[in-house]
Amino acid sequence: MEMDLNTLWFLLIAVLWIGYFFLEGFDFGVGILLPFLGKDDLDRRVLVNTIGPMWDGNEVWLIVAGGATFAAFPEWYATLFSGFYLPLLLILVALIFRGVAFEFRGKDQRRQWRAWWDRAIFFGSALPALLWGVAFANIVRGVKIDVIRGYHEYTGSLFDLLNPYALFAGVTTLVLFTLHGAVFLTLKTAGEIRERARRTAGMLTLPTAGLGLGFLIWTWLNVAAVDIDGTDVAAGSLSVAIALAAVAVILLVRRGLEGWAFLGTGLMVVMVTLALFLYLYPEVMPTRLAGGEALDIYNAAATPKTLRVMTVVAAVFMPLVVAYQGWTYWVFRKRISRETFQAVDAA
């Protein structure tokens, strides 16, 4: 992997997606688990407030990843968002409803009001968790791209995106984010909710490991049928690391070492995402069309001057964003429980 500005920005975009999935992943998991771990309204109030101060900051990583892709690789952005228009629209609508639900849930005490917004949080978390896996699997697998009137365009249909490999990937990310959220709750809550989250994490770990391992093996077989290079070998080796991380999570959860367990599920998210980008490099959107032309980090890139300016801006502002978000997590680091809100309500 030769390091030039095109490669650098490919790696930076990979880092942004890794950050997004690591942080937003446990947000999705908490939302998915809301109807299962929240036995009553007070339980659900606790669950929502574990991510209440952070969820919108976590979504900044998605916005920056999209903006960076648009600026650094405009043709990748254009082809991706035109070809994947409907799935990405569904993700956007789900995220909007989810964000509104976090803000509106507590505005009324009526049971039906809160139940409606609780459902919005669940579906607004589960749908993106599923569709992000479908989208990224299709990118790695390759889609029908051809050059039309001088531009790379997606020539397939929605049903081409709903192939068995992509759907399997969607189930994998759905379960992985759910596990990530369960372990986060063991770290962030106390009392009975924490115990429920710990039991749930224990039940999800082995299925998650199996799905993650199976997905990366399937990905390896897809790549091996085409070509293999050094980055593909590195990505394939991550399959073993994911299995080891899953075993570690099981042991850490049982021993009550929630912080280390959360680091373990986070590493699983990081390794799956990193493997996908390693499989892609140097392409950004492979083509499955006979005679078609794939998009790579060179024919999809902006001008060298644009990449140089972006590099300077990123070097200045990225550390500030990371520092601010780290400070936010430090401020809201304490556990919360039913008693926390009972004391607030009594006051």
The Cα–Cα gap between 285 and 292 comes to 11
Q: Which residues contact 242 (CB under 8 A, 6 or more apart)?
A: 209, 212, 213, 216, 268, 271, 272
Below-70 pLDDT ranges, the chain: 1-2, 149-152, 156, 223-236, 289-292, 342-347
- The confidence score (pLDDT) of residue 240 equals 75
Cα Rg of the chain (Å, integer): 21
Using CA atoms, how far residue 73 sits from 19, 231, 304, 314, in Å, is 19, 21, 11, 15
- The confidence score (pLDDT) of residue 85 equals 87
Q: Which tokens belong to 204?
A: 């999800």
Contact 59, 17 (CB under 8 A): no
- Cα of 144 vs its chain's centroid, Å: 24
How would DSSP label each residue in 102-130? HHHGGG---HHHHHHHHHHHHHHHHHHHH
H helices present in the chain, as ranges: 5-37, 41-51, 55-72, 74-83, 85-104, 111-141, 158-161, 164-188, 192-224, 230-254, 258-280, 304-331, 338-346
How would DSSP label each residue in 213-263? HHHHHHHHHHHHTT---HHHHHHHHHHHHHHHHHHHHHHHHHTT-HHHHHH
The Cα–Cα gap between 55 and 42 comes to 20
- The confidence score (pLDDT) of residue 178 equals 96
- The confidence score (pLDDT) of residue 269 equals 92
Q: What residue ranges do the domains of the chain occupy?
A: 5-339
Contact 99, 334 (CB under 8 A): no
- The confidence score (pLDDT) of residue 151 equals 66
- The confidence score (pLDDT) of residue 54 equals 86
The Cα–Cα gap between 37 and 197 comes to 7
The Cα–Cα gap between 210 and 215 comes to 8
- The confidence score (pLDDT) of residue 342 equals 67
